[in-house]
Amino acid sequence: MMFERRINADLVLPRYYAFATKMPPLYAFLAAAMLAVMVLFRGREPVLASLAIPAFLMAMACIRGWWWYRHRDDAITTEQAQARLTRAIVLLVGAAILAVVMVLSLSSAASAEEKQFLSLICVLAGLVGLFCLSNLRYVAVLCTAVTLFPAVVQYFSAGTMPAMLSGLVLLLAVASLACSLTSSYDEFTTLVRSKLEIQQLDQENVRLLSIDMVTGIPNRRFYFDALSAALAAKDGAGTMSVGVIDLDGFKPVNDSYGHRVGDAVLREVAQRLSEAVPQVKGMSRIGGDEFAFYLDSVTDPSDLMQIGQALIEATQHPLVVGDLTVSVSCSIGFATYPESARQADILFEYADFALYHAKRTGRSRSEIFSAEHRALMSAEDSIEQALRGADLQTELTAMFQPVVDMVTGRVLAFECLARWNSPTLGSVSPSAFIPTAERTGLITPITLAMLDKALIEMRTWPPSVKLSFNLSSNDITSQLAVLRIVGLLAKSGIPPSRVIFELTETALLHDFSTARANIERIKATGAQIALDDFGTGYSSLSHIQNLPLNKLKIDRRFVLDIETNETSRMIVRALVSICEGIGIDCIVEGVESEGQARTLGSLGCNVVQGYLYSRPIRSRDIPGLLTRLAPADAISA
């Protein structure tokens, strides 16, 4: 603004609104003063000063005063406020100059009393202007100086001591008010700036609360706010999809190289996911190695799978962190609006379930929530409710499958397998209730109940036969669960050396450092540790290297085609060689035919488990099995 030398953009709007509230009374005073002048000097010469100018100023005051009254609360931009202030100041300064011209013209032929009236008008106009324009101090001083000029001239030109002293007192009073105005202006500026700083801090706090500090992309809070807003904008019309991403293979990287490398990987993955597909909106880190996003007006299954594949491929390119090169991938679950659900939290839950199913059935793939998933969720909910109310001691049954030395035909151990017969659901497959129990945190009570049953059954076995018992990821990453397992083992009276605890590679991915510490606690009792389903997880060789293992169980997938697939034979031969080299036993699962057994024997693996020797049996059938599996049944390598 031309009259305001110290414009600050942050102060424009506060000044404007303070200014706008004072304009109606200022113009009301001006209109009343001009009316008084026209009444007092009606019919006088010059007509320009006695009628035209005051009539014009009064009309302008009425129009502008009414305009400001109507528009004092308008929501406007900084630029609009600045333009209005500029226009108002030009009009006020112009009105002050016209008023001075009018007073000087009328004073030349006015009586002493009329001159006093004109001086009073000037003084009052100056004081009212000084107050009403206080938030624009330079403009206030200018307008006050202009309007006071005729009064000061009149006082000092009178030549009398009282008049001159009156003029001096007037100048001192105005100067005092101007100083007070400066102080008030500074206080106003300080107050406004304090409020602006508080607003900026609030905005920054909101921003920080919405940003993930590791990756720099939005966080869970932002995501659900954005998703809810996007759904509200749909208002029941249109379509969209929600996607949830979980990284595959990130935990081994984080556990092996530390959080510094893990955080760098998360940052790079977050950037790739944010930039990989233009249609993706609201890409956010939900927590850990999980991300979420949404797609506007994209629900076609083929389009979703294509987008999912593009995101998966974006994460699969090698990541370079310093001198390290690491690789991860991801799995993705989708849920569509409005087909799957209409609420943000339910859509996310369904997408998360589809993700969970994708990871269970292969990883590095996308899956869309469907009617099949809804049925699975319903079944899992029923299983969860039944588990929560189950009498585990009576409803669970222990079954046992032998681990056999093919050379001697001797049974080395029995693996304990859980079976559940629910009063409400009937017989429930382990493939159904074990994942549900793990997901809902109900697995440890099952573990303890089954271990107690197995240890009791062991008392009737030959001392040379061991128990092989599975622990879940929840068990091995819980210090309390491990302490209860160790306590149960000690209470049973069974020598710990006769017990083998099996862990899957997947279980180790949840929290490797905690799992290793708990494995050490179990190993300290004298019990043995086996790594189960070897070859289905990540960083398998590093697990062999970094864990105190006694045994390694090769997953059945390498056995299915071992008679015809040279690659499978080479992998098994290499694993057997590694086990021999580091001094641990190698066991192969899933042996179902004599041909498979002979092939494994030729590769140097003589300890096996599978239907060839026995399906899982009850404890009461173990004596008969031990009699049947005599050395005469051994298969020669």
Same domain, 343 and 401: no
Is the pLDDT assigned to residue 3 strictly greater than 70? no
**pTM (whole model) above 0.85:** no
DSSP string for residues in 581-600: HHT-EEEEE---SHHHHHHH
In a domain, 635, yes or no: no
User: Tell me: the pLDDT tens digits for 249-274?
Assistant: 888 788 778 889 999 999 999 999 99
Express each pLDDT in 348-402 by its tens digit. Answer: 999 999 998 898 877 789 999 999 999 988 888 999 999 999 999 999 999 999 9
With contact defined as beta carbons under 8 Å apart, do 220 and 287 qualify?
A: yes
| pLDDT greater at residue 395 or residue 142 | 395
What CATH number does residue 524 fall under? 3.20.20.450
d(CA 207, CA 626): 68
Per-residue model confidence as pLDDT tens digits over 320-356: 888 888 889 999 999 999 999 989 999 999 999 999 8
User: Could you say which of 326, 344, 369 is where a domain stops?
Assistant: 369
Give 506 or 425, the one with higher predicted confidence.
Answer: 425
At 225 the three-state DSSP class reads: helix
Confidence of residue 245 (pLDDT cuts 50, 70, 90): very high
Whole-number Å distance between alpha carbons of 239 and 336: 7
Q: Ramachandran region of residue 588, left (φ > 0), alpha (ψ -120 to 50) or beta?
A: beta
Instruction: Please report which helix (H) or strand (E) contains residue 535, including its range.
Output: none
Are 147 and 231 members of one domain? Answer: no
Residue with tokens 């007073």: 103
pLDDT of residue 117: 84
Residue 222: pLDDT above 80?
Answer: yes
Q: Residue 451: what pLDDT?
A: 96
Same domain, residue pair 140 and 113 = yes
pLDDT confidence of 421, banded at 50, 70, 90? Answer: very high
Scan for tokens 């994708």, then name that residue. 358
pLDDT at 158: 67
pLDDT at 4: 40
Say what angle helices 479-492 and 443-458 make with each other, to 10 degrees.
20
* Residue 409 domain-assigned (yes or no): yes
Radius of gyration of the chain from its Cα atoms, rounded to whole angstroms: 43
Q: How much is the average pLDDT of 501-525?
A: 84
428 and 530 housed in the same domain: yes
CATH number at residue 296: 3.30.70.270
Q: HEC string of 294-353?
A: EEECCCCHHHHHHHHHHHHHHHHCCEEECCEEECCEEEEEEEEECCCCCCHHHHHHHHHH
Tell me whether residue 208 is in a domain.
Answer: no
351 and 409 within one domain = no
Indicate whether 58 belongs to any domain: yes
Same domain, 519 and 560: yes
Predicted confidence at residue 102, as pLDDT, reads 87
CA distance 269 to 215: 9
How do strand 290-296 and strand 280-287 relate by DSSP bridges? antiparallel
Domain-embedded: residue 441: yes
Does the annotation count 589 as an active-site position? Answer: yes
The total number of structural domains that make up the chain: 3
Domain boundary residue, one of 369, 397, 412: 369
- The set of long-range contacts for 452-457, using a CB threshold of 8 Å and a minimum separation of 24, is 452/393, 452/488, 452/492, 453/393, 453/396, 453/397, 453/398, 453/416, 454/398, 454/400, 454/416, 455/488, 455/489, 455/492, 455/494, 455/499, 456/492, 457/398, 457/400, 457/619
Choose the final residue of a domain: 369, 393, 410.
369
Angstrom distance (rounded) from CA 622 to CA 501: 20
Query: Is 2 part of a structural domain of the chain?
Result: no
pLDDT above 50: residue 2: no
Q: Number of helices (H) and strands (E), helices first, in the chain?
A: 24, 16
Do 224 and 355 belong together in one domain?
yes
Same-domain check for residues 131 and 88: yes
Structural domain boundaries enclosing 150: 9-202
Could you report the per-residue pLDDT of 97-131, keeping only the tens digit for each?
Answer: 888 888 888 888 888 788 888 888 888 887 787 77
Same domain (yes/no): 356, 430: no
**Pair (193, 246) in one structural domain:** no
One domain, residues 398 and 352: no
Closest by CA position to 609, among listed 457, 505, 466: 466
- Check residue 81 and give its pLDDT: 86
Instruction: Verify that 331 and 444 share a domain, yes or no.
Output: no
Could you give the C-alpha distances from 218 to 284, 344, 440, in angstroms and in order? 5, 17, 28
Beta pairing, strands 499-504 & 426-428? unpaired
Higher-confidence residue of 448 and 135: namely 448
Give strand pairing partners of 501. 469, 529
Instruction: Kindly name the residue from 380, 589, 592, 594 that is annotated as catalytic.
Output: 589
Q: Has residue 212 been placed in a domain?
A: no
Q: Look at residue 209 and tell me if it is in a domain.
A: no
What is the token pair recorded at 466?
Answer: 């061991």
Are 601 and 635 in contact by the 8 Å Cβ rule? The answer is: yes
Residue type, 313: E
Convert 547-568 into a string of H (helix), E (strand) and C (coil): CCCCEEEECHHHCCCCCCCHHH
Mean pLDDT lowest among 192-196, 275-279, 296-300: 192-196
